[in-house]
Amino acid sequence: MIRQIVSEAQNLSKYDIGETIEGVANRTGRKLSEILKLNANENFFVPLIFLKDLLKEVVDEADLRLYPGEETTDLRESLGRYLRVLPEQVMIGNGSDQLIDLISHAILRPGDDVLSFTPTFSMYKRCVEVQGATYGAIPLGEDFSLNVEKLLASVKPKTKLLFLCSPNNPTANQFDLGTIRHVAENFEGLVVVDEAYADFSEETAVSLLEELGNILIIRTFSKAFGVAGLRLGYAVADRDLSSAISERFQLPYSVSTIALRFALEILERIEVINTAMKELKAERTRLIGKLNEMDGIHAFDSVTNFVLFKAGRSSDDLHKALLERGVIVKNLGRVLDFTNCMRVTVAPSPLSERFLQALREVMG
């Protein structure tokens, strides 16, 4: 039996977290403090001292001997006010990844089909395969647009879910609300819109929930709120669907008391997050401009907290040379018909400058 489980597991997708600070430090002989980690779309604009002070306040007030009580209900109400939806529409999860897995578990059965597009976040395929369902993906256009008609034409009788990452990772573009509306109006299943990066853009599909009952939107505290290490996500959907998934499929006490209380407190200090997002957007514009000034580099537009760029030489070689300088970015290689692509997190100017200098050096 164990051998069978291990054998079947080999057929499932594996999520690669990429290079770590510790791994690069050990490899290069550098100190941990000398490694610049810009490969995971983390948010360095929210002041660390602010987050640490807030966490200390939460920990001091919490009784860790107790299971979470009303914190989940309180957070649903707070997020309802934040998004201007009913609290009953909100689901809470242990990171958006866990919500993707939870939704897949609740909706899919062996033999079902799921559609998305490529390139996009790899977690969808992984969670779908775990449920014994089939995952299909339609290539984006060269301008990173979604071929809606081809997507809808690929729907089969057993297609239960459509995953739309918008803004999309790794292309950093967002689909307009008319596109998402058209997809939802012409699909009988559930359209899952992953808005992990929506706080860095100007639009959200939350407004579509009032007119379309088959849309579910996933959000996270990992990006805009800068607390990826706390693992907290949330989703918004039709109130009946949200209640069914939360009450019948979600495990009890799936999110820690600390994470729940921290989220409640940080939502009360949203002005700090708004200031950080303004700074990030300004630096994003500057970073794209600086990248496009380099010979052999082309940076694509972005509405996220990362920038996709392509180089005129091997991205494998560039990635290795940057690692030797203690700089970690994401080596993507081919993205559609674009070769030698890489992805870099938008970081505060001093960190961005260090990355840009290292890139100039390795580009020669």
Q: Which of 268, 297, 314 is the endpoint of a domain? A: 268
C-alpha distances (whole Å) from 178 to each of 17, 157, 172, 197, 203 are 34, 25, 18, 19, 12
Q: Please give the distance of CA 144 from its chain centroid, rounded to a whole number.
A: 18
Domain that holds residue 329: 18-41+271-363
List, in sequence order, every residue forming a beta bridge with 311; answer none if it has no partner: 297
- Could you tell me if 159 and 234 lie in one domain? yes
* 12, part of any domain: no
Q: How do residues 198-253 score in pLDDT, each as one tens digit?
A: 999 999 999 999 999 999 999 999 999 999 999 999 999 999 999 999 999 999 99
- Could you tell me if 232 and 183 lie in one domain? yes
Q: Is the dihedral of CA 353, 348, 332, 231 positive or negative?
A: positive
- Could you tell me if 126 and 170 lie in one domain? yes
- Could you tell me if 312 and 259 lie in one domain? no
- Could you tell me if 140 and 256 lie in one domain? yes
Q: How do residues 34-70 score in pLDDT, each as one tens digit?
A: 999 999 999 999 999 999 999 999 999 999 999 999 9
Does 1 score more than 90 pLDDT?
no
- Could you tell me if 253 and 281 lie in one domain? no
Q: How do residues 135-186 score in pLDDT, each as one tens digit?
A: 999 999 999 999 999 999 999 999 999 999 999 999 999 999 999 999 999 9
Does 131 score more than 80 pLDDT?
yes
* 323, part of any domain: yes
- Could you tell me if 280 and 195 lie in one domain? no
- CB-based contact 306:281 (threshold 8 Å): no
Domain count, the chain: 2
pTM for the full model? 0.95
- CB-based contact 41:303 (threshold 8 Å): no
Does the bond joining 110 to the residue before it have cis omega, within 30 degrees of 0? no
